[in-house]
Amino acid sequence: MKPQPLDLEKIEEEIIDRFNEHQPHELQEELDLIKEVLKQRIKSACEFYLRYKDKPELLVKEHPEYKKELSSNLLPLEELSYWEQLIYNEWLFKLAFKDVLEEK
């Protein structure tokens, strides 16, 4: 599939197509719940990325579970060069959206 902006309406249509044996009124409530959960999760991932973008020290402070992975690649955190900052931000983006970006 060609990369494209997120479109929850297209997701809804795809789910309807896949579950077309259900009555539309039964499915609508489920779709509304699915759409709301997707919105919340996507918003959370965006907020995660934006909160820690350009701030590896804050990420490590608030999420020490990432310290080892970050420290092995980007030391010292407080003295990152411009290019290391770009590498960090790319790594952070991939972390924030890993479930979407992973090949299955």
pLDDT at 77: 62
Distance from first CA to last CA of the chain, Å, rounded?
A: 13
The domain limits of the chain are 8-45, 53-104
pLDDT tens for 30-83 read: 778 788 888 888 888 999 999 999 999 899 899 998 888 886 666 566 677 888
Specify the pLDDT at position 6: 65
| Phi and psi, residue 30, nearest 5° | -65, -40
Task: Read off the pTM.
Answer: 0.73
